[in-house]
Amino acid sequence: MPPNLIAAKPLPQHKLNIDLKDVLFRASLPLLAMLAALLIGAVLLLLLRANPFQAYAAMVTGVFGSTSGFTQSLTKATPLLLVGLGICIAFRASVINIGAEGQIILGALAATWFSLAFRHWPGWLLIPAVLLVSFLAGAIWGFIPGILKARLSVNEILSTVMMNAIALQLMNLLIRGPLMDPAGIAAGTYLAQSERIPEQAWLPRLVPQTLLHAGAILAVVLAVLVYIFLWRTTIGYRIRAVGLNPDASRYAGINVSVYQALSLTLAGAFAGLAGAVEVIGVQHRLLEGITSGYGFSGIVAALFGGLHPLGLVPASWLFGSLLVGADKMQRAVQVPSALIDTILGLVVLFVVASNLLSRRWSSRRTIEISATEEVNS
Amino acid sequence: MTTAGQLTHLPRIRRIEMREIVKRFPGVLANSKVNFDVNAGEVHALLGENGAGKSTLMRQLYGLYRPDEGQILIDGKAVEFHSPADAIRAGIGMIHQHFMLVPTLTVAQNVALGLKSSREPLLDLDRVSARISELSQAYGLKVDPSAYVWQLSVGEQQRVEIIKSLYRGASIIILDEPTAVLTPQEVNDLFATLKRMVGEGHGLVFISHKLHEVMEISDRVTVLRDGQTIGVRLTKEVTRDELVKMMVGREVKPLSPQPAKVGAVRLEIKDLRAMGDRGTEMLRGVNLQVHAGEIVGVAGVSGNGQRELAECLTGLRKATYGQILINGEDMTHAPLLKRMAAGQAYIPEERMRDGAIREFSVQENLFLRDHSAPQYRRGVFMDFSRMAARTRQLVDEFNVKTPRLDTPLKNLSGGNIQKLILARELSRKPVVLIAAQPTRGVDIGATEYIHKRLLEQRAAGTAILLISEDLDEIRTLSDRIAVMYEGQIIGVVERDQATVEQIGLMMAGVSKEDALQRRSDLAHLSYP
């Protein structure tokens, strides 16, 4: 048979089915893992003499039973999604960003300072400017470990963790000093928080009487843009190439460390945005604990979403619901909050494990398929 | 396994037969009614191109896959294996291409791994060592039971694998491309061992696509092609050419290159020096010129600086002294992109590490270098339709067999991956091409194709530097042969004047003049 004919042979029909099945399989696995974790959680609840049915019912109705619960889950999902997008870009370049906490803080700091410094600006100008400034502030916080890695091969896991500590102390210093709320000083309370930002800098609410703000829409739009960035642009192509095979990328003339540093910078920028939306969307001021741990749970959400920007959208919502539901559950059945953390921890553990498992299965499948495709060719 | 006192295992299996084996993978027939048998006391070679179904067949015999149809009979009795453990218990062993050894453990520890100790819960490594010594005496497998595996050469590690199988009582042993990783001397040692094993009554299955080895070691040959048995022959009654025809499905004619039309100097290397990874000087003053329209082959025993030379030429290794000129322009310290712009293309030695990205699609891999060329993008966006059109064209032109353009590269065979890399590099119309081990691990059909392409490129006026450990390849393609020894070019000979003996002597460090003189005295040092 002339080889040209083989090369031009159309695709056999079954290929499509395999891919679809694979996608469904991979999507269902984390859900199954979550169920398994909740099952173990039920045993723990029983041990504490709480009724697991009542507890989980409270969890579900807490999220889906009311507008407030549902919008809360979306509000929590927003920073998770933003952080997760950055984590996802970094992961694609094989860079691990543990520094989202610090990058959120920098974004929040920048947002607070800017909206207070330019409080006379109109909202249509102020809000985009605040978002941009926070984006840049987070980017700088990501760029520092990025350039350290590129120039001096400093391990990014260590440096990003250190940058978290620096950011935290920087915020503590500022909200107890120059940024401290003058009203608190006047009243003598000296609360460690900033002045309230001007109202025109607030993100519009999507549902009245709730916390859900326009940042949620922004995050989803950005998820689509990140997808386009990674898979349609030359820069995204290089980031993925560097992450998958730095040696081959180097031979292709791609500057590996530049793209690793770039991916860390972008990761920081997205976390910075998360900090901004927390300030101008939810809290309307800077206060201690502004990150709510989103810098770490964002990593989990990213893994949850298969490190894919579009998979992250449902994944971060799911994780947000879990956070809200767990809170409601704790109040309904009166168990220690440590138990709630345990259940959340179990979910994370199971989902990450199922991720590994599905990768192993799919690689085994690939081996079989490659064997057959060789024969096929 | 309470036979530690026994001197040798008497092989238990007299005959294994695989009848009408059918194995399907989703949508594909990997083995189509294949028949195969092996008897005690013979080497039965299983010959076929990459992807002919050899490994699939043997994995079924070793319990890694289960056949969809057909039977496996041991001494006439049907058996079913659910896992390799079943196969091992039945007396079947398999030596994989990639060894399954723990480097930080000793030989004895590796052999004992996973077996019950004779004095549980304590270890019985002394008994294991004694038994290893017995086996290595009986079969001529020199190995020290107390040596750590990481200290062993590849050939020695393979011996450990064989001892592991024998220790577990294997009477039929499958060897999957056992010579792929060995030096010629080690191949000789292995063959001596295999003959001894056959003498002891073992049956061996020798999977290979190297014909001269099959001719040398086997008693019978089964040829597979496209998942089907093409035929079974007695080795002494078949010729090499017949086997090639059975394997490839057509005749493969030897190449006879036209004389070179040599032009100006394109690549010039002047007194090039560089350090190796271990901090020793690996290039110690290399001088070489490659002209337009000629292929210069660099021959040599591996580790004499060929790899470092290639890396200096691509700019991934810093030269400490000397010059590299492309078209007269100094490129010694130029970055890769500048060399590419000057018309240099490169086929890397480690194609899966340096030449391609496994997870990327065929199309993405084709554009590894040119993804940001103006004609394939609009702003920062990649122009997928133009890329796809170009990919389709190159895939056709270079006979890359792939189900789709977005198939991940890892699903392609080695030969097709190499053709894809060739397509990427040659389509750039290079002035200078560095080809390092371009056909290593590639099947006959693809090798023939790659050689033809390289000769076409030479006719088109490209200056080609061919670095290869395959002396046959060097002699077929090169107009001039440069022999590398201890970081220097010890001599350059014209193809027509070079004999195998002469090149072999130079590879061992004898200067060109001496090699020429002593040729007649040392004729016994001939190459196969």
Q: How close B23 gets to chain A, by Cα (Å)?
A: 10
Chain A residue nearest residue B411, CA to CA: A370
Do residue B382 and residue A235 have CB atoms under 8 angstroms apart?
A: no
H or E segment at B382? strand B381-382
Nearest CB among B26, B52, B314 relative to A372 is that of B26
A:B CB pairs within 8 Å: 130
Do residue A250 and residue B372 have CB atoms under 8 angstroms apart?
A: no
Radius of gyration from C-alpha coordinates of chain B: 25
B290: Cβ contacts below 8 Å, ≥ 6 apart: B265, B266, B267, B268, B296, B432, B463, B464, B465
Q: How large is the average pLDDT for residues A239-245?
A: 95
Nearest to B492 by CA among B511, B519, B473: B511
Q: How close A369 gets to chain B, by Cα (Å)?
A: 7
Residues 332-351 of B with CB under 8 A from A: 335-337, 340, 346, 348, 350
Contacts of B402 in chain A (CB under 8 A): 7, 377
- The pLDDT confidence band at residue A257, using thresholds 50, 70 and 90, is very high
Contact B4, A349 (CB under 8 A): no
Chain B residue nearest residue A17, CA to CA: B26
B285: Cβ contacts below 8 Å, ≥ 6 apart: B271, B272, B273, B321, B322, B487, B488
B401 touching chain A per CB within 8 A: yes
Burial class (CB in 10 A: 0-12, 13-18, 19+), A276: buried
Q: How many domains in chain B?
A: 3
- Per-residue pLDDT at A284: 94
Q: Give backbone dihedrals phi and psi of B259, rounded to 5 degrees, phi first.
A: -60, 150
Structural domain contains residue B495: yes
Contacts of A232 in chain B (CB under 8 A): 381-382, 384
Q: Are residues B242 and B271 in the same domain?
A: no
Give the pTM: 0.76
Do residue B51 and residue A374 have CB atoms under 8 angstroms apart?
A: yes
Decide which of B412 and A309 is more confident: A309
DSSP 3-state assignment of B455? helix
A 10 A CB-CB count for B201 gives: 17
Do residue B396 and residue A8 have CB atoms under 8 angstroms apart?
A: yes
- Per-residue pLDDT at B518: 63
Contacts of A250 in chain B (CB under 8 A): 316, 336, 354
A 10 A CB-CB count for B208 gives: 22
Mutate to test the interface with A, among B380, B384, B387, B398 (most CBs of A within 10 A): B380
Contacts of A12 in chain B (CB under 8 A): 27, 403
Contacts of B412 in chain A (CB under 8 A): 370, 373-374, 377
Q: Are residues B309 and B381 in the same domain?
A: yes
pLDDT per position as a tens digit, A187-203: 888 888 999 999 999 99
Nearest to B449 by CA among A250, A184, A3: A3
Give the per-residue SS3 of chain A.
Answer: CCHHHHHHCCCCCHHHHHHHHHHHHHHHHHHHHHHHHHHHHHHHHHHCCCCHHHHHHHHHHHHHCCHHHHHHHHHHHHHHHHHHHHHHHHHHCCCCCCCHHHHHHHHHHHHHHHHHHCCCCCHHHHHHHHHHHHHHHHHHHHHHHHHHHHHHCCCHHHHHHHHHHHHHHHHHHHHHCCCECHHHHHHCCCCCEECCCCHHHCCCECCCCCCCECHHHHHHHHHHHHHHHHHHEHHHHHHHHHHHCHHHHHHCCCCHHHHHHHHHHHHHHHHHHHHHHHHHHHHCCCECCCCCCHHHHHHHHHHHCCCCHHHHHHHHHHHHHHHHHHHHHHHHHCCCHHHHHHHHHHHHHHHHHHHHHHHHHHHHHHHHHHHHHHHHC
Q: Give backbone dihedrals phi and psi of A51, rounded to 5 degrees, phi first.
A: -85, 110
Structure tokens at B130: 């004694």
Indicate if the pLDDT at residue A367 is higher than 60.
Answer: no
Q: How large is the average pLDDT for residues A219-224?
A: 97
Q: Are residues B270 and B351 in the same domain?
A: yes
Nearest CB among A3, A247, A251 relative to B401 is that of A3
Contacts of B345 in chain A (CB under 8 A): none
Nearest to A75 by CA among A209, A279, A216, A202: A216
pLDDT per position as a tens digit, A259-281: 999 999 999 999 999 999 999 99
Structural domain contains residue B256: no
Burial class (CB in 10 A: 0-12, 13-18, 19+), B22: middle
Decide which of B114 and A211 is more confident: A211
Structural domain contains residue B97: no
- The pLDDT confidence band at residue A14, using thresholds 50, 70 and 90, is very low
Contacts of B360 in chain A (CB under 8 A): 240-241, 244
Q: Distance between CA atoms of B236 and B241, rounded to whole angstroms?
A: 13
The domain spans of chain A are 79-311
Do residue B346 and residue A251 have CB atoms under 8 angstroms apart?
A: yes
H or E segment at B368? none
A 10 A CB-CB count for B181 gives: 14
Q: Single out the residue in B251, B281, B314 at which a domain terminates.
A: B251
Nearest CB among A15, A232, A251 relative to B403 is that of A15
Do residue B357 and residue A249 have CB atoms under 8 angstroms apart?
A: yes
Biggest CA–CA distance in chain B, Å, is: 76
Residues 6-35 of A with CB under 8 A from B: 6-9, 11-12, 14-15, 18
Q: Are strands B77-79 and B92-95 parallel, antiparallel or unpaired?
A: unpaired
A308 touching chain B per CB within 8 A: no
Q: Distance between CA atoms of B105 and B293, rounded to whole angstroms?
A: 52
Q: Are residues B218 and B311 in the same domain?
A: no
- Domain that residue B371 falls in: 265-521
Q: How close A10 gets to chain B, by Cα (Å)?
A: 7
A373 touching chain B per CB within 8 A: yes
Q: Are residues B231 and B276 in the same domain?
A: no
DSSP 3-state assignment of B130? helix
Checking B120-128 for CB contacts under 8 A at 24+ apart, the result is B127/B4, B128/B167
Q: Are residues B320 and B247 in the same domain?
A: no
Q: How large is the average pLDDT for residues A1-25?
A: 47
Do residue B404 and residue A15 have CB atoms under 8 angstroms apart?
A: yes
Q: How many angstroms from the chain centroid is the CA of residue A307? A: 10
Q: Are residues B423 and B332 in the same domain?
A: yes
Q: Are residues B449 and B349 in the same domain?
A: yes
Q: How close B342 gets to chain A, by Cα (Å)?
A: 13
Burial class (CB in 10 A: 0-12, 13-18, 19+), A8: exposed
Nearest CB among A247, A371, A374 relative to B353 is that of A247
Q: Are residues B413 and B437 in the same domain?
A: yes
Chain A residue nearest residue B249, CA to CA: A1
Residues 53-92 of B with CB under 8 A from A: 53, 55-56
Calculate the dihedral angle through the C-alpha atoms of B397, B400, B403, B407, rounding to the nearest 10 degrees.
Answer: -110
Q: What is the pLDDT along chain B (528 residues), one digit of tens a residue?
A: 333 334 445 568 899 999 999 998 766 788 999 999 999 999 999 998 777 888 889 999 999 899 999 999 999 999 999 988 899 989 999 998 778 899 899 999 999 988 888 887 888 888 999 999 999 888 888 889 999 988 887 788 889 999 999 998 899 999 988 887 676 667 888 999 999 999 989 999 999 877 888 999 999 999 998 889 999 999 999 998 898 888 888 777 777 777 778 889 999 999 999 998 878 899 999 999 999 999 999 988 777 888 899 999 988 889 999 999 999 999 999 988 899 999 999 999 888 888 999 999 999 999 998 888 889 999 899 999 999 999 999 999 998 988 889 889 988 878 889 999 999 999 989 999 999 989 887 878 888 899 999 999 999 999 999 998 878 888 889 999 999 988 999 999 988 887 777 887 888 788 887 877 765 454 444 444
Q: Are residues B351 and B458 in the same domain?
A: yes
Residues 351-370 of B with CB under 8 A from A: 353-360, 364, 368-369
Contacts of A3 in chain B (CB under 8 A): 399, 401
Contacts of B384 in chain A (CB under 8 A): 232
Q: Single out the residue in B114, B149, B170 at which a domain terminates.
A: B170
pLDDT per position as a tens digit, A84-136: 999 999 999 999 999 999 999 999 999 999 999 999 999 999 999 999 999 99
Q: Are residues B159 and B52 in the same domain?
A: no
Contact A192, A172 (CB under 8 A): yes
Structure tokens at B107: 């030989």
Do residue B399 and residue A248 have CB atoms under 8 angstroms apart?
A: no
Nearest CB among B28, B355, B399 relative to A251 is that of B355
Q: How close B345 gets to chain A, by Cα (Å)?
A: 10
Q: Give backbone dihedrals phi and psi of B303, rounded to 5 degrees, phi first.
A: 95, 10
Q: Are residues B357 and B329 in the same domain?
A: yes
Q: Single out the residue in B143, B170, B197 at which a domain terminates.
A: B170
Chain B residue nearest residue A367, CA to CA: B411
Chain B residue nearest residue A245, CA to CA: B357
Q: How many angstroms from the chain centroid is the CA of residue A186? A: 38
Structural domain contains residue B6: no
Residues 328-367 of A with CB under 8 A from B: 366
Structural domain contains residue B527: no
Structure tokens at B116: 């019950």
- Per-residue pLDDT at B516: 72
